[in-house]
Amino acid sequence: MYDVLVKNGKIVTADAVTEGNIAIKEGRIAAVLTKGEEPEATNVIDAAGKYVFPGAIDTHAHLNDPGFEWREDYEHGTAAAALGGYTTVIDMPLQNDPCMTDAKAFDFKENKVSPNAYVDYCFWGGLTSYNFGDLKDLDEKGCVSFKSFIGPVSPDYESLNYGQAMEAMDMIKEFDGRAGFHCEDYAIIKNQEKRMKEAGRNDWKAFLESRPVVAEIVATDAIIEIAKATGCKAHICHVSHPAVAKKIKAAQDEGYDITAETCTHYLTFSNEDVIEKGPLYKCAPILQPKEAVEEMWEYVKAGVFSGIASDHSPCSYDEKFNEILGNKIETVFDVWGGCSGIQSGFQAAFSEGVVKRGVCPTVLANAMSVLPAKAFGIYGKKGDIKPGFDADLLIVDPNKEWEITEESLLYVNKISAFVGLKGKGLPVMTLVRGNVIAKDGKVIAKKGVGELVKKLK
């Protein structure tokens, strides 16, 4: 007698779409069965006509909890993730108070957030200039990777320079960890911004010019070379442009273990949105030209990305339009950067990819579940529809049309670049370890059902 049987669905894995059933016991997939094989189960879910995806993994999200709960918290953020289809969220170490830079912060955070999570979560470890001595501890605690910035991003979290990156990678290599980087060259960004300001520019085009793609290329090149020199595994966060993806693919083709992610917004929106609509489309790296968006999909199809992340970077309405922490927003450069997208990531990727561009659903299963789980060391438990894996499933109705509205957002702050987007193909049920968390657009589980996932050893 199984706990749950999901039957008659079109099961999507990285290899194929096949009809079949999934039996779940004690939170894990106990059996994957052919169509017709219907062992008894307490709860039988009929997925006829629908896709059953492995739950998506958001490799990059900022849930801001603890410390900045007025931007986002675990209760709201993971509820949105659950509705959207991310069954595991790899939470970023910064915009947290304290930052996730030592074992104590790990425990503190875990205690704080675990009662409120709707989906499972991993922690990125912090990687800053001052916590090199804590990296091994954090790895032992279960951090799945370590995140640092090469570019200037967050006031509460120092960026690394390339020398520190090299030192960190020498250390992380020791315990076979992975080092992840926000790759925009710090100095290029800072100086371009300064130039724009000196030129009296305060328009969205100036913002775009302040973050030229060469900044992303330079930093990515540097991290790739340092990864080659140290032998450390690297992860390039939120790749925005095909010229960057090309560099990463070249290193992968040479055989280096250098993974990367892109984000749904880089596969959906363009720089024209920034110019036309402004604040909500400000993020870093920037949104790129339309032709670049098309080319990015080619790299998704080629398997270059271990993650189509949300880079969910929420903020209050004021922080986009009025002031941030008491500082008035006077120019485009002051506006909070970040797209809130954790709820929309999967459905937008499905609609833009599978529906609009004819991408095979297997590509999304690979890019959003299998490859991220492998990159972050949780494959075996997460990331696939196989016996023994956690029963994290996402049932998608491929024919359902949708438009994203503010009211539908479960975030603390109901603003997003995705509001107004229309598409087709909607998650209609989300299971995390066999529990139905969301159904028909509503979160139906009790909070606290989400659990911490540690890197598998």
Q: Which residues bind a copy of itself (CB under 8 A)?
A: 13-16, 18-21, 23, 25, 28-35, 37, 39, 161-164, 166-167, 185-192, 195, 212-214, 217-218, 221-222, 225-226, 228-229, 249, 253, 255, 298, 302, 370, 374, 379-380, 384, 386-388
| Residue placing its CB nearer to a copy of itself in the complex, 168 or 404 | 168
* Phi–psi pair at 435, nearest 5 degrees: -85, 135
Q: Minimal CA–CA distance to 174: which of 139, 150, 208, 127?
A: 139
For tokens 């080092």, name the residue: 179
298's contact among a copy of itself, Zn ion, none, with CB below 5 to 8 A by partner kind, is a copy of itself
| Residue placing its CB nearer to a copy of itself in the complex, 23 or 417 | 23
| Residue placing its CB nearer to Zn ion in the complex, 120 or 311 | 311
**DSSP-assigned states of every residue in 177-211:** -EEEEE-S-HHHHHHHHHHHHHTT--SHHHHHHHS
31's contact among Zn ion, a copy of itself, none, with CB below 5 to 8 A by partner kind, is a copy of itself
* Residues forming beta bridges with residue 182, ordered by sequence position: 149
Q: How far is the CB of 212 from a copy of itself (least distance, A)?
A: 7
- Report how far residue 232's alpha carbon sits from residue 237's, in angstroms, rounded to the nearest whole number: 16
For tokens 């989906």, name the residue: 119
Burial pattern 301-322, b for ≥16 Cβ within 10 A else e, equals: beebbbbbbbbbbbbbeebbee
* Residues forming beta bridges with residue 208, ordered by sequence position: none
Tell how strand 51-54 and strand 393-403 pair up. antiparallel
Residue 390, interface with Zn ion (CB under 5 A)?
Answer: no
Name residues whose C-beta falls within 8 Å of residue 147's C-beta, 6 or more positions apart in sequence.
92, 93, 94, 124, 125, 126, 127, 180, 181, 182, 237
281-340 residues in contact with Zn ion (CB under 5 A) are 311
311's contact among Zn ion, a copy of itself, none, with CB below 5 to 8 A by partner kind, is Zn ion
Cα–Cα distance list, 41 to 5, 148, 325 (Å): 6, 46, 52
* Total residues at interface with Zn ion (CB under 5 A): 2
221's contact among Zn ion, a copy of itself, none, with CB below 5 to 8 A by partner kind, is a copy of itself
| Residue placing its CB nearer to Zn ion in the complex, 109 or 201 | 109
Among 7, 109, 182, 312, which residue interacts with Zn ion (rule: CB under 5 A)? Answer: 182
Q: How far is the CB of 24 from a copy of itself (least distance, A)?
A: 10
136's contact among a copy of itself, Zn ion, none, with CB below 5 to 8 A by partner kind, is none
| Residue placing its CB nearer to a copy of itself in the complex, 218 or 267 | 218
Q: How far is the CB of 249 from a copy of itself (least distance, A)?
A: 8
The token pair that represents 410 in the structure block: 């479960």
Residues near Zn ion (CB under 5 A): 182, 311
